[in-house]
Amino acid sequence: MTDRAYRRSIKLHSFEDFAGMRAAGQLAAATLDMITAHVRAGITTAELDRLCHEFVRDHGGTPASLGYRGYAHATCISINHVVCHGIPGERRLMEGDILNIDLAVIVDGWHGDSSRMYAVGKIGRRAERLIDVAYEAMMRGIGAIRPGATVGDIGFAMQAYVEAERFNVVRDFCGHGLGRVYHDAPDVPNYGRPGDGPELRPGMFLTVEPMVNAGRPDVKILNDGWTAVTRDRSLSAQFEHSVGVTETGCEIFTLSPANLTKPPYPPAG
């Protein structure tokens, strides 16, 4: 094995490491729960970001994206045709918007990475269906995870389902290994063929984070160097969980403590 291949090899973690990932994953998920009640028409994405940042800090974590490759925010907030890496700012949410809030936290050195879709007021039927399909794609990808399956099996489960629903998966961004490192080997593409790619083994930690476009799969990056949008300006949706491969399947580290999955979320209280 070359030096480079060795550094990129997929880490196998211990039982104790699962406890670290559970703590980090649960803080990411609790933050995404907390922000739900704030997602309303009129709030800016910078305000949502600040609320997430303060919650993470007040609960013993650090946002992993702060300072990552020069990124200066705790979250990425991607509205409507923004596919991912939307930068929080002065944009105010409007009735009918759909948005993804993506948050990664570090707790005791472990990374918990998760994102969910949110809806502002009443949204369109197509937006609703896109969100449902993105959520189901993530859950089907996670459902393919067990020892002996491959990374390609995950991508295949997501792509086959999404295309049967007449939407498209994004090729330009992938899920990833994580653990003590934010973005580690392997890449976890949102597409694939059964049996392709590295074999999954107990102790691997991965994210599953399908991006689903209502139109063509193509994206472009805006001049800010971050914001990825659909080239055809169609709507895009994404969900993300962090998981660990177990002897029998996988454990989802970022399940919502409040049992929130996808919109519509029940009123808080």
Residue 45 interface partner, choices Co ion, ligand MF3, none, CB cut-off 5-8 Å depending on type? none
**Choices 65-73, 111-119, 137-145, 187-195; region in contact with Co ion by CB under 5 A:** 111-119
Q: Using the rule CB under 6 A, is 184 a contact of ligand MF3?
A: no
Would you say 112 or 123 has its CB closer to Co ion?
Answer: 112
Sheet with strand 184-188: strands edge to edge: 184-188, 175-177, 205-208, 241-245, 250-252
**Choices 17-25, 65-73, 88-96, 147-155; region in contact with ligand MF3 by CB under 6 A:** 65-73
Q: Using the rule CB under 6 A, is 104 a contact of ligand MF3?
A: yes
Q: Using the rule CB under 5 A, is 184 a contact of Co ion?
A: no
Who's near 210: CB < 8 A, 6+ residues apart? 134, 137, 138, 141, 158, 162, 169, 170, 190, 238, 239
The two tokens of residue 219 are: 């994206």
Map residues 14-53 to x or -, x wherever contact with ligand MF3 holds by CB under 6 A.
Answer: ----------------------------------------
Widest distance between CA atoms in the chain: 55
Q: Using the rule CB under 5 A, is 207 a contact of Co ion?
A: yes
Angle at 119 between CA 112 and CA 159, to 5 degrees: 60
Residue 69 interface partner, choices Co ion, ligand MF3, none, CB cut-off 5-8 Å depending on type? ligand MF3
The DSSP secondary-structure symbol of 240 reads B
Q: Using the rule CB under 6 A, is 258 a contact of ligand MF3?
A: no
CB of 2 to ligand MF3, least distance (A): 26
Contact of 176 with 207, CB cutoff 8 Å: yes
118's enclosing H/E stretch is strand 110-119
Q: Using the rule CB under 6 A, is 240 a contact of ligand MF3?
A: yes
Map residues 144-173 to x or -, x wherever contact with ligand MF3 holds by CB under 6 A.
Answer: ------------------------------
Would you say 115 or 123 has its CB closer to Co ion?
Answer: 115
The CB density around residue 223, as the number of other CB atoms within 10 Å, is 6
**Choices 6-14, 40-48, 64-72, 125-133; region in contact with ligand MF3 by CB under 6 A:** 64-72
Residues in the chain: 269
**Choices 3-11, 113-121, 127-135, 188-196; region in contact with Co ion by CB under 5 A:** 113-121
* Per-residue CA distances from 1 to 8, 45, 47, 178 (Å): 11, 46, 48, 22
Strand partners, 244: 205, 251
Distance CA(233)–CA(83), nearest Å, equals 10
**Among 19, 40, 57, 68, which residue interacts with ligand MF3 (rule: CB under 6 A)?**
68
Residues in touch with Co ion (CB under 5 A): 113, 207
Residues in touch with ligand MF3 (CB under 6 A): 65, 68-69, 71, 76, 85, 102, 104, 113, 209, 240
